[in-house]
Structure 1
Amino acid sequence: MTHELWILVLAAVLGIVQVGLPPIAAMSRKGYAQWNAGPRDTPFDTGPMAGRLNRAFSNFMETFAFFAVIVIALAFAGKSSDLSMWGARLYLAGRVAYIPLYAFAVTGVRSLAWIISLIGILLCLYTLFT
């Protein structure tokens, strides 16, 4: 398995972890456990931290599909290279950094983490077409 595919697996694990972060952050809110155990017919104010973690996960999902398709295409095409390896690493590093930066409302730097992950995707895409 290529290095990029391993990074893809790690990115999937990161996504699984991110699914659980908003509920963990919301558990400290009074009444959340009862609401979560019920039918959830009405919205519940999970608080700002859980909301930011949920939005960070949504942002991850917006980029993950593109990254996954490109990495799988690289593997099928047999085009793994140092550039695509670094691209995959940049993608994962940017996504990992994005979570706490968004959760703790660090503006500016959060966008930089997103840009780093996008550069990683673009490096992999460039490798695919060269």
Structure 2
Amino acid sequence: MEYSFEAPDTVNPYHLFFNTRVNQDYEFDNLFLIANIQFPNGMQIGDTLEYKMAYPNGKLMGEGFGSVKESKLWYKAGVTFSEQGTYIVKINQVMRKFGKVEALDTLKGIMDFGIHIETIPKQEN
């Protein structure tokens, strides 16, 4: 997945989140991602991320009623987009079946995935 966006400004800090919507077909209790953010000047920063998606009893974490749960997952806190221009965030899931080396092509149960840029309230600055 790849998302591109223009820097909202070059002064204020922002929080970045991943938003997911998952149903009961999701067969794991976590989610491993590799995320790279590319700056307008071409510099890149990569992160390997793990998110808990289910409780030990198998019940999905997140908000919502029924079998669909939405989660807001932290990506980066207090980011200042110091350069004007287009930023690109590339995300790859790297989930594997137990005992297997290769990552799965697709993950059943993930209905939506997106990125959200949030203004930091003044009291957090």
What interval of TM-score do these two structures reach, taking the shorter chain for normalisation? under 0.3
The TM-score, its normalising length taken from structure 2, stands at 0.26
Choose between structure 1 and 2: higher helix proportion: 1
Q: More relative contact order in 1 or in 2 (CA 8 Å, sep 6+)?
A: 2
The TM-score, its normalising length taken from structure 1, stands at 0.26
Q: Which has the larger radius of gyration?
A: 1
